[in-house]
Amino acid sequence: MKRVSLTQYLVEEQRLHNTIPAELRLLIEVVARACKRISYSVSKGALGEVLGTADTENIQGEVQKKLDVISNEMLLEANEWGGHLAAMASEEMETIHPIPNRYPKGEYLLLFDPLDGSSNIDVNVSIGTIFSVLKAPEGMGEPTEEAFLQPGAAQVAAGYAVYGPQTMLVLTTGNGVHCFTLDREMGSWVLTESNMRIPESTKEFAINMSNKRHWHAPVQRYVDEMLAGKTGARGKDFNMRWIASMVADVHRILNRGGIFMYPADMRDPSQPGKLRLMYEANPMAMIVEQAGGAATDGRQRIMDIPPTKLHQRVPVFLGSKEEVELVTRYHADQ
């Protein structure tokens, strides 16, 4: 197999398609380097004293795990002096993190969920890092939170690293979705799959079924019809998977199809769903669409939602196109 490294891929992509200016390439390489460091920490587990809680809460009132904090620090530290960013924002921080004045600055904004799937850290199940890159608005001056409030359609790059049996980096810069596997001996990311495509139809769904009693009618209807199997309205049997790490669930769907759902429910109208628009839904929506799938909040395309705040939550339905369109239609029927 001819080995193509992440750097070679990025340089070649710019040469052929002009989609990755040097600044963006260097920024992606810094993020990938930070993910490599996170991967090494994750794999050390108890030996690296990285498991367990940090005894702190993040802005969303969630108890932080040590690895949430460590991964956040690694991403901040790596990207602060890279010279390609104006500011960063993280699921784990209350507000934005402008690049300190002692470092050179650039024209991009970086958002991340440093450690996705926190509940799986201590049980040795796949977890990940999700990131999204925006261009700072022209003439922004000092970075503000408002500068980050751009719809997902404005993303110039999005990706995730999954720390599983293998560590992989899945990336899009708007020209397909490509997967790189970490070669631990060489310390490099190697292109192992180009132009990933999500099958349009599927027989597999992912949802936290324990919330069923709280769901709204369209989601009840959609899932009930799948559960009814061959003799029900859908005329086929469905299988279910729920890893409880969005990164790992989306990675499965990218590889073999399926629909992933984290709907809003009737518990707390002030919290429409669990997942965050800026750090989870938007980057994953860009990846899924670039792979031929679809991503909605049940009513509209996720990437068209105008963000109103940094830590905004949204309902998420993403994956194989036919299924996402069907559950979105059920919402419209209501």
Rule CB under 6 A: choose which of 208, 239, 300, 334 binds ligand FBP.
208
For residue 170, the cross-strand partners are 160, 179
**Strand, helix or coil at 21?**
coil
Asked if residue 274 binds ligand FBP (CB under 6 A), the reply is: yes
CB of 262 to Mg ion, least distance (A): 10
Residue with Cβ nearer ligand FBP (117 or 319): 117
- DSSP secondary structure code for residue 119 in this structure: G
Residue 209, Cβ neighbours under 10 Å: how many?
12
* Under rule CB under 6 A, residue 244 binds ligand FBP: yes
* Distance between start and end Cα atoms, the chain: 52
Compute how many residues bind ligand FBP; rule: CB under 6 A.
12
As given in the structure block, the two tokens for residue 85 are 């960013």
**List 117, 164, 258, 319, residue binding ligand FBP (CB under 6 A):** 117
113 sits near Mg ion (criterion: CB under 5 A) = yes
Q: For residue 253, count other CB atoms closer than 10 A to its CB.
A: 26
Q: State which H helix or E strand residue 6 sits in.
A: helix 6-17
CB of 83 to ligand FBP, least distance (A): 28
Q: Based on CB atoms, which residue is closest to ligand FBP, 119 or 195? A: 119
For residue 302, with 0-12 CB atoms within 10 Å meaning exposed, 13-18 middle and 19 or more buried, which class applies?
buried
Distances (CA, A) of 134 to 9, 10, 101, 214, 219: 21, 18, 21, 35, 32
Rule CB under 5 A: is residue 297 a binding residue for Mg ion? no
Residue 249, interface with Mg ion (CB under 5 A)? no
The answer to whether 309 is a known ligand-binding residue is no
Give min distance, CB of 127 to ligand FBP, in A: 8
Minimum CB distance to ligand FBP, residue 245 (Å): 5
CB of 13 or CB of 116, closer to Mg ion: 116
Q: Which stretch binds Mg ion (CB under 5 A): 21-29, 107-115, 195-203, 304-312?
A: 107-115
> For Mg ion, how many residues bind (rule: CB under 5 A)?
4
Query: How far is residue 72's CA from residue 62's CA, in Å, rounded to a whole number?
Result: 15
Binding site for ligand FBP (CB under 6 A): 91, 113, 116-119, 208, 244-246, 262, 274
